[in-house]
Structure 1
Amino acid sequence: MATAQDTLEIGVLVYPGAQLAAVHGLTDLFAVANRLRHELGALERPQLRVCHWSETPDRQLQVTFDTHPGTGHQVRAMIIPPSLTQAPSPELLERYRANLRQWHGDGALLVSVCVGVFFIAASGLLDGRPATTHWNFAQSLAERFPQVQVEANLPLLDDGDIITSAGLMAWTDLGLKLVERYLGETLAAETARFLAVERVSGGQQPGSVFSPRLDHGDEAVLKVQHWLQGSGARDVSLTAMADCAGLEQRTFLRRFRSATGLKPTEYCQQVRVGRACRMLEFTNRSIDQIAWGVGYQDPGAFRKVFFKVTGLAPSDYRRRLATRAG
C-alpha cells in the first residue's frame, strides 16, 4: 500500500458538466508518467496519485475515484477541467468556492482548463491577478470578474500558485506541465513522446521557470507567498512581509527560508522575473518598460537580476524565444 510520503496527490474536480474526456485523459496521462517513472528508475520522485472529487447528493465533496486508495488526502494540485457546454452558472460556482479557497490556503496549486478558470475567479483568488481562458469566454470572464486581468492571448499562464490554460484540449499540455513540475523535465518529455503529443510549454523556455514550494505546511509563510504571487511582489518590504505573516522579522526570515529554500528578497526576484519573462514573450514592450512594469525603478538593476535568475540578458531571452517560435 502506498503511503502519503511516497505519493503526491493531484485532484480533479468533477463538477456537473465537466468534460469527461479531460477528467479521464488526465488520469491516463499521469498513469503513463508513473509507469515511465518506474521504467526509467526515477524512484526518488513521488508517484502521482490521482483523485476525482465529486459532490454527494447533499452537496458534500468526496473522493469518488482514487488511484492509491487507503491513505489520507493531502491535495497538492487541484485541476478544474473544462466543460463542453457554457460558462458555469453563478450558483454552480458558489458551490465550490469555499473548497477551492481551503485547498489553496492549505498550499495546493490550483489549475484550470478553459472555463475552469471561472471557478477560481469566483473564489476571489484571482482578484488583481492575470489569468487566461478560451478566446470564446474571455469577454464573459472579464465582464463577470472585472478584477481579473484576462490575458486570452496566452495558451498557458503559470503564475506560481495558480495555473490557467486557454484551449478546450489544453488539458494535455497542462498535465505535462504538472509532470514537469513534480517529476522533472525528462519524465515530462518522455510522457509527451509516449503519448505522441507536442508540448506547448515546458522544455522550450530558454530561462528558468519558478515553481514555488507550497507544500511545506507553514501557514504563516504560505500566506505571504500567496500575497507575493497575487501582488507580483511589487512594493513589498521585509516589514510588510513579516506583518503579513504575523511574525517578528527575525523569526519570519528564518521560517521563510526554511519553508521555501529562498530568502524573501530572492523569492521576490523570482516572482518579478517570472512576470517579466511572460511580458518578453507576449508583448512588444521595451526592456525598460518591462522593468518598470514588474516593479524595478532602475532598468539596470532589473537586467542584473534577470541575468542572475535566468542566465540570460532580457534581450537574449526574447531573441531566443523568437528563434524557437520561428
Structure 2
Amino acid sequence: MKHISILVPNESVLTSITDPRYMFTAVNEFLMKAGKEPLFKVQMVGLSPEVMLNQGSFSVHTDVLMKDVKKTDLVVVPALSGDLKKALELNKDFMPWIVAQYEKGAEVASLCIGAFLLASTGLLNGKKCSTHWIYANEFRDMFPDVTLVDDRIITEQDRLYSSGGAASYWNLLLYLVEKYTDRQTAIFASKFFAIEIDRKSQSPFIMFNGQKQHEDEPIRQAQEYIENNIMERITIEELAGKFAIGRRHFERRFKKATNNTPVEYMQRVKIEAAKKQLETSQKNVSEVMYEVGYSDTKAFRTVFKKITGLSPVDYKNKYNKHAEVMM
C-alpha cells in the first residue's frame, strides 16, 4: 500500500488539499468495486492538529502531525495563497521534512503555486518545474536556479513533480494515478471526475504581461515602445539605437530584465493583442493578423501556435462566443 501524505500548510488553498484526498480515496473505491485491494493510505499532514484557512473561514483537521510521519511514499504539496513570502515563512518547518522524506525515497508533487514551497527546499535546483503562469516572473526572480517551464501542465524529474496553474493539478493527479495503478484506472478516474486526460500544455490560458519589475529604465521604456507600436515592424537595431545602446549589449540587458529576447517579447506582445481581438471582436483572422503587424499568414499562424498551442482559427472558435471564422 502506498502512503500518500498531503500537506496542510498555513496560507494554502483548501481545494488543493481536499481534491487530491478525494482523488486517491476515490481510486481506492474504484479498485475495491473491481474486487481489488485498495492501494492508497491517504493522510493529511500538518504542523498542528487544526489549520485555519481563508482567514478563519475554514479549518482542516489533520490526520497526523508531520513529526509523527517517519516515512511516506508520496508528499503532495498544495497551492499556497496570499503573500507568498509570508506563506513560505509560516511553512518553513515543512521544508527539512520534505527533504528528509525525499532522501528516504519518497516522491514529491507540488500543485500549482505549491511549487514555491517545493522550490524553497532546494530540491528543484537545476531541474525543471511548472507553476501557475501568472506567478512565472515572481517564481523566476525567487528561484533563479530552477528552470521554469510555465507552459507545461506537468513536469517530472528525479521523483519530483509539478503542475501548472489552478485546476490543471487534476491532470497531475491523474498522471500519478496512472503511474501507481494502470491506464484503465486512470481513464475511469478521468471520466468520473470529468477531466480531459493527457492534457500537456497550459499555453492557451497564459496571458502575457511583460516583466517590468526591474530597475533597467531604458529597457522598460523599450518595452513600452513595443507595446505602444504593435502594428509596426520594429527591428532590434531600431530599438537599440532609439535608446543609444549597442545591439549586443541591448539584447543582453533586455533578456536579463524581461526573461525574453527582444524578438520573443515583440512576438508575445503582438500575439497577446491578437488573442484579445479574436476573443471579443467579429474580425476575421486575416484582419486581426494585419492589425498586429503581420502580413505573412504562415508566419502569423506559426508564431501564434507556438505561443498559445492553438491555431488562430481554433483559438477564435474556442474563446469567441460568436465566432464566425473567415479567412
**TM-score band (shorter)?**
0.5 to 0.7
Does the Cα contact within 8 Å between 1:88 and 1:115 map onto a contact in 2? no
Residues 88, 179 of structure 1: alpha-carbon distance in 2 compared, 3 angstrom cutoff: farther
1:107-146 equivalences in 2 (<5 Å): 107-146=105-144
Contact 1:87 1:137 in 2 (8 A): no
Secondary structure of 1:75's counterpart equals coil
Query: 1:183 aligns to what?
Result: 181
Query: Which amino acid in 2 is paired with 1:145?
Result: F
Q: 1:72 to 1:54 in 2, by over 3 A?
A: closer
Query: If you compute each CA radius of gyration, which structure gives the higher value, 1 or 2?
Result: 2
Report the TM-score when normalising by structure 1.
0.53
Change (3 A) 1:189 1:86: farther
Find the aligned partners of 1:119 and 1:11 in 2 and give their Cα distance: 15
User: Out of 1, 8, 19, which is 2:13 matched to?
Assistant: 19
CA gap of 1:14–1:199, structure 2 versus 1, over 3 A, is same
User: How far, CA to CA, are the matches of 1:31 and 1:95 in structure 2?
Assistant: 27
Verify the 8 A CA contact 2:76 2:110 in the aligned structure 1. yes
The CA RMSD over aligned residues, in Å, is 2.9
Once the two structures are superposed, the pairs formed by residues 257-276 of structure 1 within 5 Å of their partners are none
1:55 to 33, 42, 47: 47
Highest RCO, 1 vs 2 (Cα 8 Å, sep ≥ 6): 1
Q: CA deviation at 1:35?
A: 1.1
Partners of 1:10 and 1:184 in 2: CA distance:
17
Paired residues of 2:2 and 2:73 also in contact (CA < 8 A):
yes
1:200 Cα deviation from its structure 2 partner:
3.6
Query: What is the DSSP-based 3-state SS (H/G/I as helix, E as strand, rest coil) of the residue aligned with 1:94?
Result: coil
Match of 2:26 among 13, 26, 32: 32
Question: Partners of 1:151 and 1:72 in 2: how far apart?
Answer: 32
- Counterpart check, 1:98 vs 2:96: yes
Shift of 1:64: 2.2
Are 1:8 and 2:2 an aligned pair?
A: yes
Task: Classify the secondary structure of the residue corresponding to 1:169.
Answer: helix
Q: 1:83 aligns with which of 77, 80, 84?
A: 80
> Given the alignment of the two structures, is residue 168 of structure 1 paired with residue 166 of structure 2, yes or no?
yes
Residues in 2 aligned to 1:166 and 1:39: alpha-carbon distance in whole angstroms: 32
Return the alpha-carbon distance in structure 1 between the equivalents of residues 188 and 62 of structure 2: 29
Q: Could you list the runs of 5+ residues in structure 1 that have no partner in the other structure?
A: 1-6, 203-320
Task: Summarize the Cα distance change of 1:143–1:120 in structure 2 as closer, same or farther, 3 Å threshold.
Answer: same
Q: Answer yes or no: is the 8 Å Cα contact 1:88–1:118 preserved in 2.
A: no
Helix, strand or coil at the partner of 2:192: helix
Deviation at 1:163, TM superposition (A): 0.3
How far the C-alpha of 1:22 sits from its partner, in A, is 1.9
Aligned-residue sequence identity (percent) comes to 23
- Give, as a single letter, the amino acid of the residue that structure 2 aligns with 1:75: T
Quote the Cα distance in structure 1 between the aligned partners of 2:70 and 2:171: 25
Instruction: Flag as ranges the 4+ runs of structure 1 deviating above 3 A.
Output: 71-74
Counterparts in 2 of 1:247-258, with a 5 A limit?
none
- Give CA-to-partner distance per residue, 1:264-288, whole Å, 9 cap, x none: xxxxxxxxxxxxxxxxxxxxxxxxx
> Structure 2: which 5+ runs fail to align?
52-60, 201-308, 315-327
TM-score by length of 2: 0.53
| Offset, 1:73 | 5.7
Provide the C-alpha distance between the structure 2 equivalents of 1:136 and 1:72, rounded to a whole number of angstroms: 34
Letter in 2 for 1:12: I
C-alpha separation in 1, matches of 2:152 and 2:194: 23
- Give the Cα separation in 2 of the matches to 1:138 and 1:19: 18
**In the TM superposition, what whole-angstrom CA distance separates every residue of 1:207-266 from its partner, at most 9, and x where no partner exists?**
xxxxxxxxxxxxxxxxxxxxxxxxxxxxxxxxxxxxxxxxxxxxxxxxxxxxxxxxxxxx
